[in-house]
Amino acid sequence: MPLRSPPILPPSFVPPYLLDRLAAHADAPVSARAANTLMIDREHRGLREFLAPQISSAPSPPYAKRGSPERKIHDAGNTTQLPGKLIRTEGQAASKDLAVDEAYDALGATWRLYHDIYERNSIDGAGMPLLGSVHYGNDYDNAFWNGTQMVFGDGDGEVFNRFTIAVDIIGHELTHGVIDHESALVYQGQSGALNESICDVFGALVKQHVLKQTAQQADWLVGAGLFMETVKARALRSMAEPGTAYDDPVLGKDPQPAHMKDIVLTRQDNGGVHINSGIPNRAFYLAATAIDGPAWETAGRIWYDTVCDRRFKQDADFAAFAELTVSAAAKRFSAGGAAHKAVIAAWNTVGVTAS
């Protein structure tokens, strides 16, 4: 009898293989927390598996400059009941809860990138309110977008810090919502890795936009600050150097490849969606840093145009996405120009296309 593939799990920031590693190799308290996180991810959040919004064939809603998002931050009270108690709404002063205020600020930073730079009216393009719940679960080691809101765990305090600590985590997870409403990429194999990579791209751009950094100034680390200081890790992923973000006795070594020759063929992690995202991540980094100025104005515009391109299919692989970005670069910045050449060179360098 053939082996059954593992079930397709919905997106989350920390990949399941890392939690599996902690459950198997960490000390007893951390192991138990990782196992509990996996149980929640696989059972409770599995309800979302087939609930992604349907793509409309109609044109995107007209852009309406609103000037402010509509944010609501809740406290789940260390339960898994959502959304929890409402703590802070749009325009209210900071609370005395650091996680609440970090979530509020980061939701706003993500909204501003999409609104001010890409003229997108919230996640769905139609003014969707931004909801968040902090203090989810008991020492829950993850963060996720469940199709309607953001959810943040507090971390275990030994390996993981609180999940509101890094603005790019929130930018990453909210971008899953953008993808849901645009291309609705299948969360499996190369299309799933593109899903994760695009979320890393816009998470990084949210951080760079907040810090007012050029592509050359940015660190290109995803989730910096998430790991506690005792862990031998710079971040969860490196877009500049996939495979170098961490190397820790308990976590193991970052498994991300940076080139197609090293792509990982696996049935775990929905076919390697968090692992193989390193390849398109590096392509974006190469394209962005080859062009002067802030990445959100250059390579970011090309990637956003591609995400919204109706030719971008739900089961697209790396090569199909690369072709669309090259087309978008030519259309946005002119064929044969610096941006167009940078995008072509980036995909060639990571082995997705042939030079």
Residues with catalytic annotation? 173, 274
Which residues pair with residue 248 across a beta bridge?
252
**Is 130 exposed, middle or buried, given 0-12, 13-18 or 19+ CB atoms closer than 10 A?**
buried
Exposure pattern of 142-153 as b/e (b: 16+ CB <10 Å)? bbbbbbebbbbb
Q: 142 with 12: CB under 8 angstroms?
A: yes
Q: Which residue has the tokens 């946005």?
A: 332
How many other CB atoms are there within 10 angstroms of residue 315's CB atom? 13
Length of the chain: 355
- Rounded CA-CA distance 213/201 in Å is 14
Burial letters 269-283, b for 16+ CB under 10 A, else e: bbbbbbbbbbbbbbb
Distance CA 148, CA 127 (A): 13
Cis peptide before 83 (omega within 30 of 0): yes
Chain mean position to CA 347: 20
Nearest Cα to Cα of residue 148 among 53, 10, 76, 59: 53
Residue type, 40: I
Radius of gyration (Cα) for the chain, nearest Å?
A: 19
